[in-house]
Amino acid sequence: MTGSITPQQTEFLYLLSKTGFLTNKHLEQVDFAKLKNSKHYLTKRLLDGKYIGRLMVSSSFGVGRKSMYFLVKKGAELVSEVYNLPLESLSYSPLKGGIYTANNGDEVSIIRADFIHKEAYICAFLAFEKYLQSTDYTLTDYRHYYQLKGDKSTTISVNGKNIRPDGIWWATSHEAGAKNFVYVVEIHRHSERKHIIRQLRQQVEAIKEKSVQKRFGFDHPYLVLSVFTGENLSAMRGILDELKNTEDWAIIEKFFLFARLDDLVSDFYKGLGYFGGVKKPVPMEI
């Protein structure tokens, strides 16, 4: 039973079940009220009732700290009941700070690990889901790189080695027979040209080998969404200019989309760059 938990709090738990983690930045992005502290009406009862957990994570450059909320089992059980979803399909963490015991016996927190990258990735994911609401498509499945339990991992095999893209998203039309879309997502927060080029070329090889189709059991082509942060704008321009002069460009031109993260959040469709034609390979708004 939901008791005195409000519909908005239940919606918050449902959103957490999709992403695993949320910061105040994400809640503002999806039009929740801005959270000032743990006493805010949206989170206080959920924290007190142990439906969610919270960690304070150092911000970039060591200035200030950010609140990161995560779903725990009690909250996941409520989402499972309200939305009639299998508990095992939901993303939640141990209440003890999201800390797991690694194979070597050490304790690791997947919440604090790679926080800035994870926050950027979730921003892109939320922007995509929000955009789909204006189309006749639904986000029917998704994998996030930080989900490692069961079959939730994004791991694919390329040239005999495993790689782990940041995300894989499935968009399915409500109309029978309409084209469905799958996107492999990479977030580029750094400016190391060689690293970014290696990532992009790995995805070219994955397309050639049909690595994602083999792992997840579908036949149609998929797209790669390459997202970079604002500070990487000049680096990405140089990288694209370099790739245009390689044999990989024929695949990149047809199957890759490029975007700056802030542009995706502001206007997902307009923010996408595509070199393969005027019509972008994404669901159209209705």
- The domain tally of the chain equals 2
Q: What is the pLDDT of residue 17?
A: 94
If asked whether residues 223 and 266 sit together in one domain, one would say: yes
Which residues form the domain of 152? 115-274
* Residue 3: pLDDT band with limits 50, 70, 90: low
What's the maximum distance between 2 C-alpha atoms anywhere in the chain? 61
Q: What is the pLDDT of residue 34?
A: 56
* Residue 282 is assigned to a structural domain of this protein: no
Say yes or no: 104 and 120 in one domain: no
Are 173 and 82 in the same domain? no
Buried b / exposed e over 184-216, threshold 16 CB at 10 Å, is bbbbbbebeeeebeebbbbbbebbeeebbbebb
Per-residue pLDDT tens over the stretch 5-56: 888 899 999 999 999 899 989 998 998 865 554 446 788 889 999 999 998 8
Model confidence band, residue 113 (pLDDT cutoffs 50, 70, 90): confident
Give the span between the Cα atoms of 34 and 278, in whole angstroms: 38
Q: What is the mean pLDDT of residues 241-259?
A: 97
pLDDT for residue 230 = 77
Q: Do 57 and 95 share a domain, yes or no?
A: yes
For the chain, percent of residues with pLDDT exceeding 70: 87
pLDDT tens for residues 121-132?
999 999 999 999
Are residues 162 and 60 part of one domain? Answer: no
**Average pLDDT along the chain:** 88
